[in-house]
Amino acid sequence: PSPSPSPSPSPSPSPSPSPSPSPTP
């Protein structure tokens, strides 16, 4: 019997870092 091919893990999308608001003086 042929070995079943292992499913390739799909890369999880990395969350884009939200730009921190600069404090207004």
* Pairwise CA distance, residues 17 & 15, whole Å: 6
Q: How far apart, in whole angstroms, are the C-alpha atoms of residue 24 and residue 22?
A: 6
pLDDT of 17 reads 76
- Residue 13: what pLDDT? 76
Predicted pLDDT of residue 7: 78
pLDDT tens-digit series, residues 1-25: 677 777 777 777 777 777 777 777 7
Query: Residue 17 — φ and ψ, nearest 5°?
Result: -70, 130
Is pTM beyond 0.75 here? no
Mapping DSSP to helix (H, G, I), strand (E, B) and coil, where does residue 24 land? coil
> Which amino acid, 18?
S
